[in-house]
Each structure stands twice: as C-alpha cells, then as structure tokens.
Structure 1
C-alpha cells in the first residue's frame, strides 16, 4: 500500500511514468480538496506545457555477497541530484503524515537501520543522510524566491532524509518496495520527474482546465466526505462565458484555448520518448483548457479565485505555485497548506 507522501507526489507525476498502467487512465475528476489532492493529469499536463516531463516512477533489488556496495564515506548529494529520497518519520505539522509512524519522530536507531538497509541495495550508486539543519539550509536556498515559505518553515519542521543516486538501469519500484516497510520511514519519493519540471521556472501562467464528461460531478455528503457523481463536460455557453470573463480581466496579458485534439498533439510531442504513456493515453483523456498568461508583477490570486468559481471549470492552477508544491514534496517530504505555499506576492 502506498504511503501518503507517495500518493501525493504521484498525484502530480506518476501518470507520466515509464511503467504506467493503462488501466489507471480514467476520466478526470475535479479537485475536491486542496491542491495536494488534485487529479494527476491536470497538473502533469499543465506543467508539461512549459517543461517536458519524463517520469520513471519505480525501485531496486536487495544485493548480497559481491553485489553489495559500501557507502561508508558518503559524498554530499545535492537535493537536485538525488534520484530518490527516503524521508524519516516526523511529527511536524507541515510534513505529509504516514500512519505507520504512529505520530512519532524516527529514532536515531531507526535512521541507522535504514542506512544499513540502503547499503544492501545492489543498484544504489550512493547515499547521503541529511539532518534537519542541512535540510533547512538547502530548503532556504531552494525557496529564496518565496518569502512566505521561508517565513512558515523552521529547521525542526523538516524531516531527516536519505538521498539516493541509483545506478543506470536500476528498477526504482523495487528499491522503493525494499525500503518502504522499514520502521521509521515516513515516505519515499522518486525525484527524477520533478527535477525535469523544476529546471525551468514558469512564467506567470494560469492553466484553466475544463470539465470533461464525468469529471465535475463531486458532491459533498452530510459527513463532509466527497463522492463522485456522473458529471457533464463544459458546454459551449460556459466556454463562451469564460472567454468573455478572461477578456475582461485587467491582469491578463494574453491567452489561448486548447481543445482536446490540440492537447493530445502537445502531449504526444512533450512525451515522445515515453511510448508507454503515449500509447495508454487518448485525446479524450485530456481536458480542454484556457492557457492564460498574466502581466508580469500583476495580482494572480484574484483571477485564480474568480476562475475557480466558474461553471464548467474542473481546476485552475497557477503554475509557479504548482512547481513549488512539487519541489517541497519531492525534495523535502512537505505538504504545506496553500496559504503558506504560495501567498499573493510570493
């Protein structure tokens, strides 16, 4: 069973994985909760417009005898160079919660045990343990552009982690499976795909994804939980109303409309090297969208909030925030609420 941190990161990237299961490609549901619960393809397709992503969501085999490697004197692995990151359990309110942690921080003994287990993985190239202070130093460098995040996070909010680089051809899924059940591990992320996204910072771009058939039928039950009903695709009238609304927004510099055929052609071009993903995806899997470019320095929160309320809209994503969301989750195992992740002006 996948951990919460895996589920959240895979909600952003796993459907771009080279080992994707075609059976997982279903109509897109509208996001019912905060950003971390968004449907995978909405975020992946949105980010892929500005940076081609080729994810490889997967692990490693345990080594023995001559196959075992030694990581006795590990060299530092920079956060952007890790292929995979193992996050130890943390009680921080900003870290994704894993039930197996039992609400406790990982002990020093558990960290040592995981380090020993990593040394037994034959396809690990190198491993580097990152304590909270060093993680915090890296965090502040990564989010120097985002003052709200820097203000919201302390060194004690960050989990101890182990960064791994893997040998060429390593099976990421097996590595993950080998480590996942060890006591003290709060989550494991595969970093390759997000690093491709993070190489290029997005412009002030807002992606407005429209409802497809079956995707916008969320209904809240009396107990507060959400269930999916059969939803309807955005109508021509709703699209026209959105176009008129966007035309009248003073923050908007320009915008384009992308229908399903155009979305599919762009998708195939961005993921040409990922034949399994392209084969498993149809034009009908991808939503129509408005791609809105905002004026540099303008307020983005107001148009985003306004567009999210419109009929026929499945999701609205401000791409710089989405990139920061993936950065925090992939490199630091963190899932801060949206007001801390990307406040207006951040």
Structure 2
C-alpha cells in the first residue's frame, strides 16, 4: 500500500516528465484525485552520512506555541543523501495538509518519539532530525540559482523532518508502514526516484503530455461535479490528427532545438530502465499507466514561457511542463515537504 506522500510524489514526477507513477507528497496543481498525466509517478534517492559525529545538543524549532527541545545530534545527513524523509505535521501553508495531522503542528514530544521510533527500526542505518532553521539553510543551498523559489519559501514555511538512510537490501515499504500511524508524522517520502529524475536541471526541456483514454482532466474534455469530488464525464484520448498537428506546430517554433515523441510502450521501457532497482514500483506500474508525450528541447537561453503557453492551448494536450521548474518543485516536495505556488516558482526567469 503506497503512502500518501509517495503517491503525491509520483504525480509530481509524471508532470516533470519522468515516466512513472506514486503517492507521497501531494502532486503539483491538478484536479481533485490528480489522475493526470503529470499526476503521479514518483520521487526517491540514495544514502550516505557525512562525517563528524559528536553528540551535541541542538534546539529543535517547532511550530508556533511549542517549546524548544534538546535533541542529540548524530552524524549529519545531507538532504541529497537521505534515502527517506519523514515529514512532521505542520500548519505551514506550503505543506500538504494530511487529515492525520488534525490541522496542527507536531509537538516536541511527538518529534522526539518519532526520532526514537525511526532509529529503533532494524532497517534504518542512521537518522538525523532537522529543525526549521537547518532545513532552511540547506534549502537555500539547493535553490541558490532559483530566486523565485527562495523568495517564495521562508524559514517558518518548512516543517521539522527526519532524514534517514536504510541498510542495503532493506524493505523501504516496511519502514514507511512502521512509521505511518505514529502521532505527529504527516508523511514519509522515499527519495530514490526523485533524485534520479533531477539529474539534468540545466537543460531547457519541456514535456507535453497528451490526453489518454478516460482522462479526468478538464483539458481533455472531462467534467466533474461542482465540488470536484467525482468525474461525471471522462475525457478523450488525443487523436492521430491532433498528434500530427502538434508535430507541425512544434517543428515551426523558433525556440525549439529538437523534439521526440514517446508512445506508451517507449515510456514504459524507459521507466523500467530508470527504476530497475525499485521492484515495488515496477510491479505496480503497467504500460497503460504511461502517458504519451512530446519531449521538447529548447535552445539554450530562449524564451520558454511562450511555447509552453501555446502548447497548453492545443487540442489533445493534457498538460505541459517546463521541466527545470517542475524538477525544482519536486525537489522542494521530496526533500523539504513543501509545495510552493507554481505561478511563483515557475514564472519567467526561474
């Protein structure tokens, strides 16, 4: 059973163009159930602990109204070296609101209990609790080149978290399952797929996901009840004529350097190669889960906002994403548990 955090990360990954499907940190903007082509696919990563131990006491800054507590600080785990991240409950507007949190911040006692529980699991090799200030310091390093992201996220927006590494061959699903019901924990993110999808953040890539059969997206013709709780009319898949028209349109765009078309089988094959080590994810994903898409590479330094806006208006298009923006959003979600407003993070120049 996938965790809420993992499913949401899948969604974010699909949008970013990594042909995959998950449920952990809520996906980027999309309708209710988020079964969009960018709606779910995954985010996850490696392991390692930086040197320098020394059990020193540090103040753990929690949400408003909570006292600071002293926690023993083990060897620091860098954000990109954590296999998994436990996101504690937070009332921050940028953190996905999980029903289990009851609309409140995790207490100091809950953070301490969660830390003990994590370190006590036989699958866990090392764990490191990260307060808001330390998380923000790391955040500023990760997004040093993304000014809109830095402007959109403040210290108080970041939740307290626990980074952990797992032993080789350990079942991460069992780790997530063991922690899921603990008080104060909003979600657990497996970082392996996430990091694998963030390797070429400097390339100006655009992913154009096409409508599929039974789509729940309004852009594909789907209709929902007024409260968006249920799809009353499913959308239609992109037609051959629409795909041909998109090919001609992309060919004529002056900003485009090159592009390729990826059908469902090709997307699935690429997915299996990329995540060959994640058997649980592979077993849960089928060819029919994969979206067809155009993968577009823009000329370095060109305007990306215009082609993205144009492609989003075309018939047969489910969603269009400027990959560097989506990758940064995914990184913020998986490593730090926050989802900054897309219109701020992905504005021109970001």
Matched, 1:173 2:177: no
CA distance 1:95–1:111, shift in 2 (3 Å): same
How many angstroms does 1:122 deviate by? 1.5
Q: What whole-Å deviation, never above 9, does each CA across 1:243-266 have from its counterpart, x for those lacking one?
A: 232233232222223334544444
Matched, 1:257 2:254: no
Partner residue of 1:330 out of 328, 334, 337: 334
How many angstroms does 1:136 deviate by? 0.2
CA–CA distance in structure 1, aligned partners of residues 81 and 29 of structure 2: 34
Q: Is the 8 A contact 1:32 1:218 kept in 2?
A: no
CA distance 1:123–1:39, shift in 2 (3 Å): same
The residue aligned with 1:119 is: 119
CA distance 1:150–1:274, shift in 2 (3 Å): closer
Matched, 1:142 2:123: no
The residue aligned with 1:60 is: none
The residue aligned with 1:61 is: none
Q: Which consecutive unaligned segments of at least 5 residues does structure 1 have?
A: 25-30, 48-52, 57-70
Worse-superposed segment, 167-176 or 231-240: 231-240
Partner residue of 1:291 out of 267, 270, 295: 295
CA–CA distance in structure 2, aligned partners of residues 102 and 197 of structure 1: 32
The residue aligned with 1:62 is: none
The residue aligned with 2:60 is: none
Matched, 1:193 2:190: no
1:1-346 paired onto structure 2 within 5 Å = 4-12=4-12, 33=30, 37=34, 39=36, 44=41, 74-201=74-201, 203-215=203-215, 216-225=220-229, 227=231, 229-271=233-275, 283-346=287-350
Q: Superposition RMSD on alpha carbons, in Å?
A: 3.3
CA–CA distance in structure 2, aligned partners of residues 274 and 127 of structure 1: 22
TM-score by length of structure 2 reads 0.78
CA–CA distance in structure 2, aligned partners of residues 42 and 230 of structure 1: 16
How many angstroms does 1:144 deviate by? 0.8
SS of the equivalent of 1:239 reads: helix
User: Which has more helix, going by share of residues?
Assistant: 1
Q: Is the 8 A contact 1:194 1:330 kept in 2?
A: yes
CA–CA distance in structure 2, aligned partners of residues 313 and 293 of structure 1: 18
Q: Is the 8 A contact 1:205 1:293 kept in 2?
A: yes
SS of the equivalent of 1:198 reads: coil
How many angstroms does 1:300 deviate by? 1.4
Q: How many residue pairs end up in the alignment? A: 314
Worse-superposed segment, 288-297 or 324-333: 288-297
Q: What whole-Å deviation, never above 9, does each CA across 1:7-50 have from its counterpart, x for those lacking one?
A: 31133469958xx9xxx9xxxxxx98279946467765xx9xxx
